[in-house]
Structure 1
Amino acid sequence: MTDETGPAGDTTGEGELLVLDDLKVHFPIKRGLLLDRTVGHVYAVDGVSLRVGRGETYGLVGESGCGKTTLGRALLRLVEPTGGTITFDDTDLSSLKGEALRTMRKRMQMVFQDPLSSLDPRQSVESLLVEGMRAHGLDTDPEKTRKRLTELLSAVGLPLNSLRKYPHEFSGGQRQRIGIARALALEPDLIVADEPVSALDVSVQAQVINLLEELQQEFGLTYVVIAHDLAVVRHISDRIGVMYLGALVEESDADSLYDEPLHPYTKALLSAIPVPDPVVEDSREQILLTGDLPSPSDPPSGCRFHTRCPWRQETLCDTDRPELRDMGGGRRVACHYAEDILAGRLAPRTQSPVSPAPA
């Protein structure tokens, strides 16, 4: 973890590798048989700005449907952004096309959520690992290629005879290791890991997380880790961004976020984490959110969380969308009343009891 952070939480000691500025990804909603009319948009990512320093692990959390995966794919240009800029190592990715974009992608790789569906079942492990190297002209010397494959398998903890096997012959944890090895094959600077351990058993999750940390120390990697498991994100991340309905609502270093969350949505997420102590679990405050997640095609006006927020105020929450503003210490929050909630000047609304259903 870095020792010094700038006003927006960016790393000042080692410089910034990735900068997103007002990134937007809007998917059109089409209707009509003969005339394909656009009748609306799905605002999957709507104005995200963040900075990731070299050698840093940035965690993205939020409930399903908040836009985490779309953001991860957009920063690699796997999904075309609607607006905003993506700057990678002082190069504007938003304007790159063709060969220039393909060359830059060599330095940016992705580990997908489902290790089985992301690996071609008809290709051996050797073919899967060599495919990316061949696409970028890195397999011209068979001896060096073989040596590189051996190094990759050793780095992810797989035996050498794995090269002749196919994905269905491995367990879930081993398939995820193959996905990590494939991402490392081109010696990238940035790896976007989309839910890298969500499909694995708890014991295997720990192995994969420890592997990611070891590889980061060995190769100087920068991670963007997308997850909904808050315990996993806390363990591996230096800084964490909390997303809700396509936008960042809070950003902080891991320890500060978990010790003292500022945004009501972050408070609700953390209150849902079970504590392995019956006394603490029974005495701590649990925040239950009312209502369902609004549709990203028709987000609420003002603060997008105000329809479910226990601290909602009618003066600003319903009408003005809060900006992600600096709170000091590298922390940012998008809430009009963050200081009042933190100081206890605002109390949450009491939840009305739910009437039992008739027999």
Structure 2
Amino acid sequence: MLLEVDDLKVHFPIKRGAIFDRTIGYVYAVDGVSLAVRKGETYGLVGESGCGKSTLGRGILRLTEPTSGKVIFDGTDIASLKNEELRRARRRMQMVFQDPLGSLDPRQSVESILTEGLKAHDLAGTKQQTSKALRELLGSVGLPSSSLRKYPHEFSGGQRQRIGIARALTVNPDLIVADEPVSALDVSVQAQVINLLEDLQIERNLTYLVIAHDLAVVRHISDRVGVMYLGALVEEAPSASVYAEPLHPYTRALMSAVPVPDPVLEDSRERIILRGDLPSPANPPTGCRFHTRCPWKQDTLCDTERPVLTELKPGHRVACHYAVDIASGKLKPNELALEVI
């Protein structure tokens, strides 16, 4: 394992009062997530907006300070490192941000943007050596060497994201956290960037944690998939298993929303419609986080006891009290929650 996350929590205080600034509560953005990523694999993290995916990614890299928990990177607990030790560890962990324009300084040229990381980690050589390395790096992400003299506003969205990827690669990292790397791009450009990420992974033996809400993108690029809901991981399995046989009710609802390119099959399959709104992360439900919207909800246990991730099949973990009964058809859903479209 290259990365192991153990019971990671990121809670943001809610303040009130102009003078005393009292803490009156917390937003439980990430609330006890545990996962592991093997070296060389791509781990896809999915879930609807507001579930805590991006906060988890930033917490792993300590761009946002975790409230508690452990982040073990290649045998070292990142969460306990300070100052110089943390700076050295960060060279091996980089991030590609969702907004390619907002993540690049508009006052810096591409050359300045790429050189900044080299200088920060004492990796810059002579001016000629650095210039040659940057030209080769731009070539590897599909940009001409003339891009070094240009500024971010002179590029398209896809080109800017390539610059962001190049920036992450300048320090030769082992792990890249890609936060919605293609969501801001046109569909035709998305495929190009995804293919680029896959090629770079093979060339450089990279490990990816890809955060996304587009299930088609995650299915294409990921070896394993984790599904988040309201700050918690509810299902984790190899990519093929999640898409072929989702076991958690929330994952089943997500997958039922993915269009199938077969009109006959699409017209005959059940679509799970979730009732109600996503609860507030500042006041999450007791027991199972999903029970307020779950079509298979049962009284007592779902309301009071929070399920833990349990391995039901080899490599397939689910946080649901009744996952086995739901998968076997023994437990029937509320018919009002199902639609055939």
TM-score by length of 1: 0.93
| Number of equivalenced pairs | 339
Q: How does 1:120-269 map to 2 (within 5 A)?
A: 120-269=105-254
User: In structure 2, what is the Cα distance between the partners aligned to 1:231 and 1:251?
Assistant: 17
**3-state secondary structure, aligned to 1:85:** strand
Q: Which residue of 2 aligns with 1:37?
A: 22
Q: Which residue of 1 aligns with 2:324?
A: 339
User: In structure 2, what is the Cα distance between the partners aligned to 1:161 and 1:96?
Assistant: 39
272-281 vs 284-293, which deviates more?
Answer: 272-281
Q: What amino acid is aligned across from residue 259 of structure 1 in structure 2?
A: A
Give 1:276 shift: 2.5
Give 1:281 shift: 1.4
User: In structure 2, what is the Cα distance between the partners aligned to 1:150 and 1:90?
Assistant: 34
**3-state secondary structure, aligned to 1:286:** strand
Q: Which residue of 54, 64, 68 maps to 2:39? A: 54
Give 1:172 shift: 0.6
User: In structure 1, what is the Cα distance between the partners aligned to 2:37 and 2:83?
Assistant: 25
User: Runs ≥4 in structure 1, deviation > 4 angstroms?
Assistant: none
Q: What amino acid is aligned across from residue 182 of structure 1 in structure 2?
A: R
For the aligned residue pairs, the C-alpha RMSD in angstroms reads: 1.2
The yes-or-no answer on 1:109 pairing with 2:80 is: no
User: In structure 1, what is the Cα distance between the partners aligned to 2:20 and 2:166?
Assistant: 46
User: In structure 1, what is the Cα distance between the partners aligned to 2:38 and 2:337?
Assistant: 45
Q: How does 1:79-90 map to 2 (within 5 A)?
A: 79-90=64-75
Q: Which residue of 2, 13, 17 maps to 2:2? A: 17
Q: Which residue of 2 aligns with 1:356?
A: none
Distance 1:352 1:306, change over 3 A: closer
Q: Which residue of 1 aligns with 2:287?
A: 302
User: In structure 1, what is the Cα distance between the partners aligned to 2:226 and 2:101?
Assistant: 28
Q: Which runs of 5+ in 1 are unaligned?
A: 1-15, 354-359
The yes-or-no answer on 1:96 pairing with 2:81 is: yes
**3-state secondary structure, aligned to 1:297:** coil
User: In structure 1, what is the Cα distance between the partners aligned to 2:181 and 2:79?
Assistant: 26
Q: Which residue of 290, 296, 314 maps to 1:329? A: 314
User: In structure 2, what is the Cα distance between the partners aligned to 1:97 and 1:311?
Assistant: 46
The yes-or-no answer on 1:314 pairing with 2:299 is: yes
User: In structure 2, what is the Cα distance between the partners aligned to 1:94 and 1:315?
Assistant: 37
The yes-or-no answer on 1:77 pairing with 2:62 is: yes
Q: What amino acid is aligned across from residue 153 of structure 1 in structure 2?
A: L
CA deviations on 1:202-231 (whole Å, 9 max, x unpaired) are: 110000000000000000000000000000
Give 1:352 shift: 7.4
Distance 1:118 1:103, change over 3 A: same
Q: Which residue of 2 aligns with 1:350?
A: 335
Q: Which residue of 2 aligns with 1:10?
A: none
Q: What amino acid is aligned across from residue 97 of structure 1 in structure 2?
A: K
Work out the percentage of aligned pairs sharing the same amino acid. Answer: 73
TM-score by length of 2: 0.98
Q: Which runs of 5+ in 2 are unaligned?
A: none
Give 1:143 shift: 2.1
User: In structure 1, what is the Cα distance between the partners aligned to 2:149 and 2:79?
Assistant: 39
Give 1:147 shift: 1.7
Give 1:171 shift: 0.7
User: In structure 2, what is the Cα distance between the partners aligned to 1:165 and 1:92?
Assistant: 39
Q: What amino acid is aligned across from residue 76 of structure 1 in structure 2?
A: L
Q: What amino acid is aligned across from residue 63 of structure 1 in structure 2?
A: E
User: In structure 2, what is the Cα distance between the partners aligned to 1:240 and 1:55?
Assistant: 15
